[in-house]
């Protein structure tokens, strides 16, 4: 009887210790992106997202004394539009993006940490039209950034982040129209929020 009870207590203590080391964060910010599509065969025209309010949720675990591995989920919502040479602008509706990123982070100096990761980005248009006539698209991405954390309570930090990522963009509709090459898209995001972790 003692052996199973000892095992249960050991597992419970290990789970409690692991939970105490989990780092959580929630941030709000904005994301800016370069053009999704640019075409200048006849007239120069580009499709571009507007500045997107962004929610970022993260969780991380230590994998070494100074390093952590983590998972981040981000949701951004904005309008997008086409801009044609000569100043003509057409509003194309609402476009959401959902991102999941697996990454590593480590120390730079007091309060600063670097981060790098890879993941998936899903484009979710409100309506299937234009370049999304055949639906949204999922793309691989790679990114890096820097975080600044400052303790404000016993277990809570104020957290500010600057993030950059890159992916190649295309859709089934673009490929059907003969756009055989994907467009490189760069995104820069800034966010601020709270992080809760072990001390």
Total length of the chain: 199
Residue 76 has pLDDT above 70, yes or no: yes
Query: Which residue is listed with tokens 């248009």?
Result: 125
The average pLDDT across 73-88 equals 86
Gap between the Cα atoms of 168 and 84, Å rounded: 22
pLDDT, tens digit, 9 for 90 and up, residues 36-52 = 988 765 567 789 999 99
The average pLDDT across 87-105 equals 91
| pTM of the predicted model as reported, rounded to 2 decimal places | 0.83
Contact 97, 121 (CB under 8 A): yes
Gap between the Cα atoms of 31 and 15, Å rounded: 36
pLDDT, tens digit, 9 for 90 and up, residues 151-185 = 988 889 999 999 999 999 999 988 888 877 888 99
pLDDT, tens digit, 9 for 90 and up, residues 51-73 = 999 999 999 999 988 899 999 99
According to DSSP, the residues that pair with 120 across neighbouring strands are 100, 140
Contact 97, 123 (CB under 8 A): yes
Contact 63, 69 (CB under 8 A): yes
> Which of 197, 195, 199, 198 lies closest to 57 in space, CA to CA?
195
Gap between the Cα atoms of 80 and 48, Å rounded: 6
Which of 15-19, 127-131, 177-181, 192-196 tops mean pLDDT? Answer: 192-196
Domain ranges of the chain: 21-196
Q: Does domain 21-196 have CATH number 1.10.150.240?
A: no
């Amino acid at each position: 009887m003692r052996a199973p009870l000892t095992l249960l207590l050991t597992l419970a203590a290990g789970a409690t210790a692991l939970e105490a080391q989990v780092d959580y964060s929630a941030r709000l910010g904005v994301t800016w992106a370069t053009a999704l599509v640019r075409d200048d065969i006849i007239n120069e025209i580009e499709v571009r997202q507007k500045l997107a309010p962004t929610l970022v949720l993260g969780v991380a675990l230590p994998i070494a004394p100074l390093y952590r591995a983590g998972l981040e989920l981000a949701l951004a919502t904005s309008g997008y539009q086409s801009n044609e040479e000569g100043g003509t602008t057409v509003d194309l509706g609402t476009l959401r993006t959902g991102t999941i990123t697996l990454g590593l982070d480590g120390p730079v100096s007091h309060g600063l940490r670097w981060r790098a990761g890879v993941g998936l980005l899903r484009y979710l248009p409100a309506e299937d039209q234009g370049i999304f006539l055949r639906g949204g698209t999922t793309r691989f991405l790679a990114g890096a950034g820097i975080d600044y954390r400052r303790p404000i309570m016993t277990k809570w930090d104020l957290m500010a982040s600057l993030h950059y990522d890159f992916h190649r963009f295309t859709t089934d509709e673009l490929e059907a129209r003969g756009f055989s090459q994907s467009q490189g898209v760069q995104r820069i995001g800034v966010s601020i929020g709270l992080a809760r972790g072990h001390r």
